[in-house]
């Protein structure tokens, strides 16, 4: 059974509202927040439930991992939801460009590249368990922003949104996210955590670009880098220089 600690409602801080109009609401999700209810016990109201107190009828258009921060987009009306994600499509099939920033283990040699390893399909209610083993296309484009002694700061773009796509893809090329306890390198993670005193993996949904389904205008939304990430980057720069 889910256990939530419900607190008195206060409107979300205005500086976390990245974009809003009559159709959509984009919010800066913090690391350690759930977008929607999931399995297991949590002690904090999921972001969607919290926002619905101020924005009734809100519907989720995308999700981020618990530890991932950055842009999350919601639909404010049924029409906006259906126009953004038709009933015959899944979120990962919608032509959005999602740009993430991440810190990966090791020094990535190429200044830019593509990772196109197929990944397992998401499974949902009513789907056979075997569907988890069905591979589907996935493409991650990346470019190097900075190289440090034993790690690399990268920017990655995805148009698909497979489960743990960026984490899985970088692990496939031998550069898993730093401090990723699922796909990462145990020895590297232990040293990284000890030296930098940062226990979460570094992954931030920096921007989202899409064609607004109602206005037909190109829309770009950005979320500032978390201060904790900036602290880690400064320590790495100092150690490199």
Instruction: Establish if 3 belongs to a structural domain.
Output: no
Q: Which CATH number goes with the domain that contains 159?
A: 3.30.2350.10
pLDDT digits (tens, 9 = 90+) for 132-161: 568 999 999 999 999 999 999 999 999 777
Residue range 206-216: mean pLDDT, rounded = 91
Catalytic residue among 15, 65, 111, 238: 65
Domain of 74 in residue numbering reads as 14-240
Task: Write down the pLDDT at residue 110.
Answer: 96
What is the per-residue DSSP string for the chain?
----------PPPGGGEEEE-SSEEEEEEPTT--SS--SS--SS--HHHHHHTTSTT-EE-----TT-EEEEEEESSHHHHHHHS-TT--GGGS--EEEEEEEEES---SSEEEE---EEPP--TTS-GGGGG-EE---EEEEEEEE-SSEEEEEEEESS--TTHHHHHHHHTT-PBTT-TTTS-HHHHHHHHHHH---S--EEEEEEEEE-TTT--EEEEE-PPPHHHHHHHHHHHHHH-
Give Cα 57 to chain centroid, integer Å: 23
In a domain, 6, yes or no: no
Q: Tell me, yes or no, whether 7 lies in a domain.
A: no
pLDDT (average), residues 161-180: 94
Half-sphere exposure of 147 (CA within 13 A, CB side): 11
Number of domains in the chain: 1
Whether 33 is covered by a domain: the verdict is: yes
Residue 134 pLDDT: 83
Give the model's pLDDT for residue 159: 74
**24 part of a folded domain:** yes
Asked if the model's pLDDT at residue 52 lies above 80, the reply is yes
Active site residue 21: no
Please indicate, yes or no, if residue 223 is contained in any of the structural domains.
yes
pTM of the model as a whole: 0.86
Quote the mean pLDDT of the chain: 85
- Rounded mean pLDDT, 67-71: 95
Give yes or no for residue 6 having a pLDDT over 90. no
Q: What is the pLDDT of residues 9-39, one digit of tens each?
A: 345 677 899 999 999 999 999 998 999 876 5
Label residue 2 by pLDDT band (50, 70, 90).
very low
Instruction: Kindly give the interhelix angle for 186-196 and 227-240, rounded to the nearest 10 degrees.
Output: 100
């Amino acid at each position: 059974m889910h256990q939530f600690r419900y607190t008195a409602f206060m409107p979300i801080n205005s500086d976390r509202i990245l974009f809003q109009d009559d159709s959509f609401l984009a919010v800066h999700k913090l690391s350690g927040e759930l977008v929607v209810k999931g399995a297991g016990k949590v002690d904090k109201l999921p972001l969607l439930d919290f926002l619905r107190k101020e924005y009734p009828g809100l519907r989720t258009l995308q999700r981020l991992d618990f530890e991932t921060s950055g842009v999350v987009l919601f639909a404010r009306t049924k029409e906006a939801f259906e126009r953004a994600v038709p009933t015959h499509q899944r979120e990962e099939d919608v032509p959005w460009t999602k740009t993430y920033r991440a810190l990966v283990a090791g020094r990535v040699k190429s200044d830019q590249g593509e990772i196109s390893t197929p990944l397992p399909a998401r499974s949902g209610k009513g789907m056979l368990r075997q569907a988890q083993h069905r591979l589907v296309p996935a493409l991650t484009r990346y470019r190097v922003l900075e190289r440090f002694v034993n790690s690399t700061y990268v920017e990655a773009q995805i148009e698909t949104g497979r489960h743990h796509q960026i984490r899985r893809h970088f692990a496939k090329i031998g550069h898993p996210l730093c401090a990723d306890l699922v796909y990462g390198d145990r020895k590297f993670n232990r040293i990284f955590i000890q030296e930098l005193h940062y226990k979460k993996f570094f992954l931030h949904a920096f921007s989202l670009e899409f064609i607004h389904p109602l206005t037909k205008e190109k829309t770009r939304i950005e979320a500032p880098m978390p201060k904790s990430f900036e602290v880690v980057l400064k320590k790495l720069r100092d150690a490199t220089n």
